[in-house]
Structure 1
Amino acid sequence: MTAIDEIRLPTALTPERLWADLPALVHGWLAQRRLAARDAVLLLPYADLLPPARQAFARQGGWQPRIETPRTLAEALAPPPHRDEGGPSGDAALDRLLVAAMLQQLPGIADWRRRDPKAHARAVDEVAAAALALARAAAQRAPTERDGWWARARAALAMQVDDAAPLNGALARLALEWAAQSAAPASDVLFTLRPAAWIVLQAGGADPLVQALVDEATSRATALLRLQADPSSEAPFDDIHAAGLQAWHAADAEDEAVAAAAAVIDAVHLRAGPVALVAEDRALVRRIRALLERAGLPLADESGWMLSTTRPAAQVMALLGAVHPRASADDWLDAIKAESGPGEGGLVDALEAHWRRGPATTPATPPTPRLQRALDAWAARQQRWQGLSGARRQPLAAWLQALRDTLGSAPGGPARWAGDAAARAVWQALRLDRLSVRADVDRTPLTLDEFSAWVDAALCDASYIPAIAREGAPVVVTPLARALLRPFAAVIVPGADESRLGTAAPGPALLNDALLRSLGIDDHAARAERQTMRFVQLLRHPKLLLVRRRADDDEALGPSRWWRRLQLAQQRQGAPRLDEQAAPLESRSLQPAPVAAPAALAASALPSAVSASAVEALRTCPYRFFARSVLRLSELEELADDPGKRDYGSLLHAALQRFHDERAAGAAPPDAAARLVELAEEAARELGVDGPALLPFRAGLDAFAARYLRWLAVREAAGWSYEGGEVEVIAAPADLPALKLRGRIDRIDRHASGAQQLLDYKTGSQRSLKDKLADPFEDTQLAFYAAQMLSQGADPERLRASYLALDERDAIGELEHRDVAASAHALLTGLADEWARLGAGAPMKALGEGMACEFCEARGLCRRDHWWSDGEEGAP
C-alpha cells in the first residue's frame, strides 16, 4: 500500500493562475519522488480542460506527463469493446423499448400497457433510469471488484422491501438483473495500465472511476498525487474570495434576458478572451442568444439543443402523423409543407384551398388545371407514403427501412438529407444510415403508434450541436459543468434564482437514498454537494455575473441558495457584504400614443345583399359588419376531421331535408326511424365525418330518430305538413330599395288552415334559445326570415316562426318567436334607417362591449386589446 500525496490549490487562484502554477507543482512533486514526467499520467475531470493544461505544460518546457481524461485515455489505449446484447445501452429511447418488451413477457402484467398506459409508461421510464444508474455505477468499479459489488447490490435491494408498493421492488430487481447483463465497459482497460505515477486533478467533486483507479494503484505501491481544487465539503464557501462576483436582479424573464445579453456584449468589448454564457436554463439562453445574434456577435454553442426542435426532425414527425389511419387534412398539409421542394408552394396552396371547401375527396365539379396538378401530386405522394401507411405491425428494422425509403423518395432525394448537418444528425439518431438499432431490438414488432413514439423519444433525447465550432468565437455557450477552470475572461450565469440554480437533479425513483449510499452511488445529498463544488469552481473566475428574475408570472422568486450560503460565509469572515443590484437596464421615456376605437367609412362599398348573420353582426358591432360584409374577411376553417357540434348539425340538416323530401314525394319507408338514421349516415359520409369520426355521434342517432318521429307524429296530427326544406330566398323589401335580403330557411311547414311556419333547426342549448327569445326584438334570425317572407307577400296574420331544438334528450323542443311579423317589421324599419345612415357616410364604429368581443374574429383587426380605457392612467 502507498499513501496518496495531496496538494491543495487555493480557491483564490483564477483559472489562468491555476494553469500557470500547475506544471511547476507537478514537476516539483515528480522530482521529489525521482520520477520521470514522461512516465506519469495526469487525469483531468473534463475534456475541455485538456487544451489549457497541455498548453501550460508546453510553456513550462521539457518532458511532460501524459495529460488525459479517463475517457480519452481509454479510447487511446484500446478500441471500444464489442457491446453485447442484453444490458442497458445508455440510449434512453432504445432502453425504453427494451424495458417495454421485458415487461410484456412477465406473467401478471403482460397487459399492463392496455389497462393503465400512463402507469406503464412511468414504470418503463423508472426501470430504464434505475438500470442505467446501476450499470454506470458498476462500470466505475475495478473489474476485480465488480462481481462482489453486484452481489452487495442484490443483497441491499433484497433489504429494500416496501410493503405498500411491492411492484416497485419487483421493478427495481428487474432493473438490477438487466443492468447486471451489461458488457464490460471500455474503461476497464485503464486498470491494466502501469504508469510510474497517477496524478489526479479533482474539481467539481470526486470521480468514482478515478477513485477506483487510485484505490487499485495504492495496492501496487504506485506513486499518487491528488491536486485538490475543491474546498472542504463541510464549509465549501468559507475560503472563497469573491472579489470579481456581481449579482443582478431583473423584473421578469424578458428583462433578465436583456440584462444578460447586455452584460455579455459589454464583457466582449471590454475584456480580452472569450466570454462564457452558462446555459442552465435553455429557454432563457435561446432568448439571450437571439439578442446576441441580433447584435452581430458570433457564438460557439457547446450545449446544443434538442434534435427534435430542428426542421428535419419536424419533417419526420409530420410524415409519421400524416400516414396515421386517423390523420386529418391538417396532418397531411403539415407533412406536405415540411417536405415540399422549390416550386411546390402553389400546389400546396391549391390543395389547402380545395380541402377547406369540403372533404378531402374528389371534387364534385371538374377541377381547374392547377387543382388537377395538385391532386395528381397528392395522389403520387400518397403512393410514396404507402410503405409507412400500409403496415399495421412489423419489426422495428422494417419500419426503419420503410421510413428511409419514404424520406429518400421525397423531393430532393437522399442528397437533401446528406447536405444538411441537422438532417444527418436525424438520420444517425434514427439509425437510418445502417437500418439497425441493435440486433435484439430490430426484431421487436411495433405498431405505427409505437414506432412513432420511439422516433419522437429518440429525437427528443438526442442533442444537436452545430458542426461549425466557430473557432475563436468571442462568446461560448456552455453548461455549468464545462465552464469549470477554463480561462474565460468573464462568465455570465443567467437563471440564477432559487428554482433554477442550485437544485439537485432527481435520482432514480426505484432506488432510495439509503440504497444508493450503500452502493457508493450519489444520493440526493451527494448530488447536491457535487453541484455545489461546481459552482464554487465558477467563483475562481475574475469576473462572474449572476443574473436572475424576481418573479415567474405571479410567483415571486428569490436568489439561488448558493448565493445565500456565500453571503452567510462572507458575513462570518467579516468580508465586505455581497449585495444584489438592480440590473442596469437602459430606460427611455415615451409619449403616450393612445389607440382609439376604429370607425370605418365605406358608404360606396356597402354590399347589395345581406344575410341574417350579416344583420346580426351589424346590430352587435358595426365594425364586425364592416370586416365581414364590406371587407369580406372570414376566418379560415379548421381542417381537422374531428367532428363537432357544427358537423353534427350539418348532417342532421341534410338528413331531415332528404327524409321529408322523400316523404313528400310519396316514398314513405316502412321503418321511418331506420331510414332517418341511414340518411344521417349517408350525409356524414358526404361531409367526410364517417367511420371513426362519426362514433361520438353515432350512438345517439337512434335515440334522435325515435325522438324526432314522436314529435313529428304529434305535429302532423295537429294539421301541419312539410312544404319545403333548405329554401333559398332572395327578397327585395320596398323599404330597402338598394338592399336585398338573402337567406336559406331550414324548413317551411303549412297548416291545414293556411298558416305558414318557418322552422330553424338548432343543436345547441335550449336555454340559450329561450334567452334569445325572451325579448323578441333582440332575436334577429327568425325576424329576418319572416321579413323575407313578408316581402314576398306572406300573410302577416298567418306567419309563424320557431326554433327547433333537436339535441334535447327528452323531446324535441319547439320555441316560438311570438308575433314574429311585428319583429320583422321593426327589423326592416331599423335596418332601413341604419342603411340610410351608412350610405350617407356614417361611421361603422367598433363598440368593444359585452360578450360579443370575447370570441370575435375581428378583434385583431379593430385592436380592441390596445384601446385606452377611461379609467386607465394616462388615458386621453
Structure 2
Amino acid sequence: MHGLYYEPLGVDFSVALARGLRARMADAPPEALARVTVLVNTSRMARRLEAALMADGATLLPRIGLVTDFAPLLPPGDMPVASVSKLAIRLRLTQLVESLLRVRPDLSPRAAAFDLACGLETLLSEMQEEEMLPDALDCMETGDLSEHWQRNLEFLRIATDWLEHIGELTPVGAQIRALDRLCARWTATPPTDPVIVAGSTASRAPTRRLIREVLALPQGVVVLPGLDSDMPHDAWADLTPGAAHHDHPQYRHAALLEMLDVQRDAIRRWDDSVQPAVPARNALVSLALRPAPATDAWLAEGPELTDVAGACRDVTLLTAPSPGAEATAIACGLRDALAQDKRAALITPDRTLAREVRAQLERWDILPDESAGQPLNQSAPGRLLLHLAGMRGRPVEAEGLAILLNHPLTQIGGDRAEHLRQARLLEVALLRRDPLPFPNRDAIEVWCEDPSTPETDEAWSHWLCGLVDNLLSQPRMAPLAEHARSHLVLVERAARGTGSSADAVWEGPAGQAALRVIEQIQAGAGERGGEPVPAQEFNRILQTMLSGEEVRDTYGTSDRIMIWGALEARVRHADLVILGGLNEDVWPAQPSPDPWLNRAMRRSCGLRPPERTVGLSAHDFQQAAAAPEIWLSRAARTAETETVPSRWLNRIVGLLGGIGAAGETALAGMRARGAHWLRVAALLDEPAGLPTGPAPRPAPKLPAGVRLDRISVTAVETLIRDPYHIYARDILRLRPLAPLRQGPDAALRGSAVHDAMERFTRRLSGRDLPPDAADLLRRAFETTLEETAPWPGMRRMWLGKFDRVIPDFLAAETTRRGLGTPLLVEGQGRRRFEGAGFTLTARADRIDLRDGAVAIYDYKTGTPPSPKQQNAYAKQLLLEAMMVADGAFEGVPDLPVEEAAYLRVGNTYGEVAPAALDAEAIDATRDQLVRLMQGYATGTPFIARLAPDLLTYDGDYDHLARYGEWDDTQPATVIPVGRP
C-alpha cells in the first residue's frame, strides 16, 4: 500500500476511503488496522470516517488525526507547546498597531486597532506557514506603489522583526516546528505501518510538505478528493503555468501534481467499486467551469456532450424572488425528500439562509442535523454576551433594555413566565407609553409607585432596578481583565434574576463554549497591559472570538435532513443536495481584504493570492453538484438590491443555453421544476377560505346610537382629511405604541419649542421686554431640551437653529407686546354644542389681551398651513377664534379676535394668518363644524384618507386600513359597523 490515489467527483469520499482501506487490510490480522494512521483535513471528516468503518460491524479503528495536528504522531514530550495563544498575539499586536496609529492617525481610527491587529496576526501566521523569510519584504520593489503601501511595508518589517524576537512560539510556529521534528523522525526511522493523508486539497504549504514526506514513506498513501477526470489533458496542463487560475476548482490538485512531478493519468483510484452518481453531469459541470480564457472550448466540446438530458434530469434551478421565498421553497423540498425516505442536505455558506430554512422546518417539527455548526455569536449565550457588551459604558436605551428582558436566557434562574409578564407590562405601559429613551432606576421606581400602574412584582422590580444600576455602573474605560470579570458578573446577574442560580446560562455546548471565551479573555488580558481600554474594544474582542467558534447541538436532530457548510460536500453524501445561496459575494464570497499588503505585494512575496479561497469554494461546489439529485438555488434580490447570480451558476446556464436544442430543453425543465417548488412554497402563506384579493378602501359606518361626542380643534383637520384615523383612534380606542428605538424627531422638537415658549412667556410680564430677553429665551429652550431630549449632539444642533430665529422672533415679539400682553398661556378651552351632541376642546398656545380685542397665536416648528389650506381643512385658528367668541376659554373676555396667526419658530421665523377673522368667517366656521359632526352622527362613513392633499407619509392607521392594497384614486366601500 503506497502511492498517490484519488476519488472522482460524485462518490461518497468517506465511504470510499473506508471501503478501500478495508479491502487492502482484508488479509491482515484485525489488529493491523489499529496500526494504520489516517490524517484527514477536518474533525467532521474524522467522525464520518469512523462511522463508515464501523458501518459493517465492530472493528478496531485506525489512528485518525488531522493534517494540522502533529502532536499524536510525536513521542510524548517531544511536541513543542505554544506558550502564547492566538489571542495573546493579537493583544500584543494591538499595542504595536496603536503605536503606529499615534504616528499615522490618517491610516485608521484608533478604535480599529484590534481589528487591524487581527489582520496583521493572520498575515504573520501566513508568512510563517509559507516559510516566507523576512528578507522577502526588503527585496520587494516599491517604486510603483503608493505612499500608503510603502509605509505599510515599513511597519511590516517592524512587525516581522518583533515576531522573530519575541522568544516564544506562536501556534503556527509550534505547528511548523512539530512538522520539522516529525519529518526528521521519519527520515531517521521511517514508520513501517501505513500512513494515509486523505481528503486534503493541499492548499497550504505545511500540508504540501506533509504530503511529500508521506509519499516518501514505505507505506505512505495520499488520497485526493474530487479529482476531475473529465478535463482534457491540454486544459489540465493550462491550469498551472503562471498560477493564473487559482479560482478554478481543480487548480490545487493540478499544482500539487506538478510539485510532485506526477501525471494525472498515473494516479489510480483508491476504490473503484462504486461509480460516480451522474457521470454525464460531471462532464457538463467540468466543461462549464473551464477557466475563463478557455471557455471558447464550449463551442467545440459543448455539442459533443453526451446525455445532456440525463445530466440535467435531476437538476432543479430555483430563482426565488426573495431570500424568504428561497428558504421556504428549500424547506418544502427537504420535507418532501423526508416523506420519500431520502437523505437530503442543504449546502450553503450563507448562515442566514441556513437559519431561515431551519425556522421553516420547525413548522413540521423537523429539527435538521446542522452538522456545520452554528457560529457561537449567534447562539443564545453568545447573543446575550454580545448584547450586554454593547450596553457597557453607555446609557441604557429603551430598545436595548426590552431586547435584554426578552432574551431567552434572561431570568432563566427565576420564574420565567412571571418575568415575561412583567417585562411586557414594562414595555407597553412605560417604555412605549411616554417617550423614555434612556430608562433608569428613578423612572422605573416612579412608574412602579404610580397608582395607575398595573400590579408589579416588588422582587422583580427590585431586580430590574439593580440590573439597570449595574449596567450604568459599567466603566467606559477599564483594564481588559476588569472588563471581562465584570462582564461575567453582569451576565450571571441578568440570567439569575430573582432566582438563586445562573448556572443554566452556561449549560450545553454553546454555554460552555461562551464561558471558555470569557475565561480566555481573562487569561490573555495581561498581554494588553494594565492600561484602561474602552468598553467598545472589549466588545470587538468578544465579537471576534465568539464569531470564530462554532457549536452544534446533536440531540433530537433528524438523521435524514441535514444542513451543511460548503466543506461538507467532500465529507458526506446525500440523495438530494440543495446548493443554496448561489449569488456572488455569498457563494463564492469575496476574498477578505488585506489592509497590510495589496495583491501585487502578496504575489511578489510568494504569499497565497486572494483568489485561493474562491478556488476552494469552487471545488466544494463542484463536488456538491455531483450528487445524485441537486437543486441550484438563489434569491433574485435581497431587501436592499438585486443580486448577481454566482459565476458558477451563470456558466452552467450559459453553457446549456448555447449548445443547442438539447441544452435549451434541459434548462427549461430545470426552471420548471424550480417554479413548481416556488408555487408550493407560496401555498403555505395563502390563508384557507379567506379572500386573497386586495382589500377595499374602507369607510366604516357607525350604527345608530354610537357617535363621536368629543373632538379637539386639531383633530378637526384630521377628521376632514382622514376620517378613518378618527374612527380608529376615538371610536375603536386604538392608540399606536411609541417605537422602542426612540430618537430626536420633529414631534419632540416641536414639543420642546412649545415648552420653551411657555417658560419664556410666563416668566415675563408687561409690555416691555427686558434687555436680556434673548438670553432668557435661549436658556428656556436649553432647560427644556435638557429635560426632554437626552441627546447631546442633537441638543446642540437644535440650539444652533433656535439661535438663528431668536433675533427675528424678539423683534416681532416687541411689536406684539406693544399692542397687548399675554393673557393665557397653554390654556384649556371647552365648548359644548348641545343640539349637535358633541364637545369641542382646545389648548391654546397663547392668547394676548389688547385694547378691546384679543389675539391668538400658535407656535409651529414646521411649515404652517397656507391661508387656502386654513380655509379648506386646517381650521385650528378659526375654531379657537370661534371658541373665544363663545366664551369657551376661562378668564378670556368675550372680545373680538383682532389677530390670529401661526408663529413659525423653525429654521427661520415667519407668521401666517387666516384669510379672514370677521364675524361672518367665524359664524361660517361654526356652521361647518356643526354640519360636519352631525353628518358623522347620522351615518356618514369614515372614509380612509378622504382628502390626503400633500400627505407623503404613512398615517398611524394606514396599516389597519390596509393602505397599499388600494390607493387614493379608488372609491371607498361602506362597511356597516356593529349588529344591524
Among 542, 566, 569, the residue aligned to 1:455: 542
- The residue type paired with residue 367 of structure 1 is D
1:654 counterpart = 2:755? yes
Q: TM-score, normalised by structure 1?
A: 0.83
Alignment of 1:330-345 (within 5 A): 330-338=399-407, 339-340=410-411, 341-342=414-415, 343-345=418-420
Aligned to 2:83: 84
> 2: distance between equivalents of 1:787 and 1:825?
8
Contact 2:477 2:532 in 1 (8 A): yes
Return the letter of the residue paired with 1:150. Answer: L
Cα offset for 1:248? 1.6
CA deviations 1:52-107 (Å, max 9, x no partner) are 5456666599998644322465357558854334xxx545xx77655443222237
How far apart are residue 284 of structure 1 and its match? 2.3
Query: CA 1:707 to 1:606, structure 2 compared with 1: closer, same or farther past 3 Å?
Result: same
Q: How far does the alpha carbon of each residue in 1:164-206 deviate from its partner, in whole angstroms, 9 at most, with x for none?
A: 4233334544554565555232464354253235433355455
Matches within 5 A, 1:205-284: 206-216=203-213, 222-229=218-225, 230-231=227-228, 234-235=235-236, 241-242=280-281, 246-253=315-322, 254-271=324-341, 274-284=343-353
Aligned CA distance change for structure 1 residues 777 and 708 (closer, same or farther; 3 Å):
same
For 2:776, give the aligned amino acid: R
Q: Give 1:819-858 correspondences, 5 Å limit.
A: 819-821=916-918, 822-847=920-945, 850=948, 851-852=950-951, 854-858=953-957
The one-letter code matched in structure 1 to 2:911 is: E
TM-score, structure 2 as length reference: 0.75
Matched-pair contact (CA < 8 Å) for 2:744–2:791: no
Deviations 1:464-484 (A, max 9, x none): 533335476211211121221
Query: Aligned in 2, Cα 1:387/1:128: closer, same or farther, shift over 3 Å?
Result: same
Counting only pairs closer than 5 Å after superposition, residues 754-765 of structure 1 correspond to structure 2 as 754-765=852-863
Q: Could you say which residue in structure 2 is the equivalent of 1:749? A: 848
- Corresponding position of 1:162: 145
Q: CA deviation at 1:727?
A: 1.4
**How many residue pairs align between the two structures?**
839
The match for 1:189 is 178
One-letter identity of the residue aligned with 1:84: S
Q: Counterpart in 2 of 1:783? A: 878
Question: Is 1:104 equivalent to 2:74 in the alignment?
Answer: no
Shift of residue 759 of structure 1? 0.4
What residue identity is the alignment partner of 1:267?
Answer: A
CA–CA separation in structure 2 for the residues paired with 1:492 and 1:480: 11
Structure 2 residue aligned with 1:427 = 515
Name the SS of the counterpart of 1:283 in structure 2.
Answer: helix
Matched, 1:817 2:914: yes
Quote how far apart the aligned CAs of 1:747 are. 0.6
Change (3 A) 1:321 1:27: closer
1:189 is aligned with what amino acid? A
Say which is worse superposed, 57-66 or 102-111, in terms of deviation. 57-66
Q: Equivalent residue for 1:482?
A: 568
- List runs of 5+ in structure 1 lacking aligned partners: none
Question: Of 45, 50, 54, which aligns to 1:49?
Answer: 45
Work out whether residues 135 and 179 of structure 1, in 8 Å CA contact, stay in contact via their aligned partners in 2: no
Structure 2 vs 1, CA of residues 708 and 791 (structure 1 numbering), >3 Å: closer, same or farther?
A: same
305, 308, 311: which one pairs with 2:374? 305
Q: Which is worse superposed, 254-263 or 552-561? A: 552-561
Distance 1:520-1:780 versus aligned 2 partners, 3 A rule:
same
Give the 3-state SS of the residue equivalent to 1:604 in structure 2.
Answer: coil
More divergent stretch after superposition (610-619 vs 177-186): 177-186
Q: 1:863 aligns with which of 943, 957, 962?
A: 962
The code of the aligned residue for 1:715 comes to: R
Question: Post-superposition shift, 1:358?
Answer: 6.3
User: Sequence identity, in percent?
Assistant: 20
Q: Is the Cα–Cα contact under 8 Å of residues 396 and 468 in structure 2 kept in the other structure?
A: no
Task: State the distance in 1 between where 2:816 and 2:657 align.
Answer: 90
How many Å apart are 1:816 and its aligned residue? 1.6
Q: Closer, same or farther in 2 for the Cα pair 1:847/1:705, shift >3 Å?
A: closer
Tell me if the contact between 1:641 and 1:693 (Cα under 8 Å) persists in the aligned partners.
no
Asked whether the 8 Å contact 1:763–1:806 carries over to 2, the reply is: yes
1:551-597 Cα deviation digits (max 9, x unpaired): 55773654642672698599999998863332132567997544222
Change (3 A) 1:492 1:640: closer
The residue number in structure 2 matching 1:723 is 823
Alpha-carbon shift at residue 677 of structure 1 (Å): 2.9
Which residue identity lines up with residue 484 of structure 1 in the other structure? Answer: R
- The AA in structure 2 aligned to 1:288 is V
Q: Output the amino acid matched with 1:201.
A: A
| Cα distance between partner residues in 2 of 1:262 and 1:641 | 39
Map Cα deviations across residues 346-373 of structure 1 (whole Å, 9 max, x no partner). 5545654345346655659972295796
Check whether the contact 1:776–1:823 (CA below 8 A) recurs between aligned residues: no
The answer to whether structure 1 residue 293 and structure 2 residue 292 are counterparts is no
Report SS of the residue matched to 2:959. helix
Checking the alignment, whether the CA contact within 8 Å between 2:492 and 2:502 is kept in structure 1 is yes
Tell me: CA distance 1:108–1:17, structure 2 relative to 1, closer, same or farther (3 Å).
closer
Residue 682 (structure 1) aligns with? 783
CA separation of 1:757/1:248 partners in 2, compared to 1, >3 Å: closer, same or farther?
same
Maintained 8 Å contact 1:748/1:759: yes
Residues 1:395 and 2:395 aligned together: no
Task: Please report how far the alpha carbon of residue 785 of structure 1 lies from its aligned counterpart in structure 2 after TM superposition.
Answer: 0.9
CA distance in 1, matches of 2:458, 2:776: 35
> Amino acid of the residue matched to residue 146 of structure 2?
D
The whole-number CA distance in structure 2 between the counterparts of 1:573 and 1:178 is 62
Where structure 2 has 5 or more consecutive residues not aligned to the other structure, the ranges are: 237-248, 251-263, 265-275, 282-309, 972-980
Letter in 2 for 1:163: S
CA deviation map 1:476-510 (0-9, x unaligned): 21112122142433322122355543456346343
Amino acid at match of 2:965: H
Structure 1 counterpart of 2:720, which letter? R
CA 1:29–1:486 in structure 2 vs 1: closer, same or farther (change >3 Å)?
farther
Pairing 1:353-364 to 2, within 5 Å after superposition: 353-354=429-430, 356-357=433-434, 361=442, 363=446
C-alpha contact 1:37 1:65 (8 A) present in aligned 2: yes
- Aligned equivalent of 2:587: 501
RMSD of the alignment, in Å? 4.4
8 A Cα contact 1:804 1:813, kept in partner: yes
Q: For residue 262 of structure 1, report the CA deviation from its aligned partner.
A: 3.2
Pair 28,593 (structure 1): closer, same or farther in 2 beyond 3 Å: closer
Matched, 1:368 2:367: no
Give me the whole-angstrom Cα distance separating, in 1, the residues matched to 2:372 and 2:4. Answer: 33
Q: What SS is found at the alignment partner of 1:801? A: strand
SS in 2 for 1:468: coil
CA distance, structure 1, for counterparts of residue 373 and residue 135 of structure 2: 39
Partners of 2:701 and 2:661 lie apart in 1 by 74
Partner Cα separation in structure 2 for residue 778 and residue 861 of structure 1: 24
Instruction: Find the aligned partners of 1:454 and 1:14 in 2 and give their Cα distance.
Output: 39
CA distance in 2, matches of 1:155, 1:698: 56
- Counterpart-to-counterpart distance in 1, 2:117 and 2:767: 69
Q: Offset of 1:618 from its aligned partner?
A: 0.8
Counterpart-to-counterpart distance in 2, 1:431 and 1:842: 69
2:315 partner SS: strand
Q: Distance in 2 between matches of 1:607 and 1:102?
A: 72
| Structure 1 position 665, deviation (Å) | 7.5
The amino acid that maps onto 1:169 is L
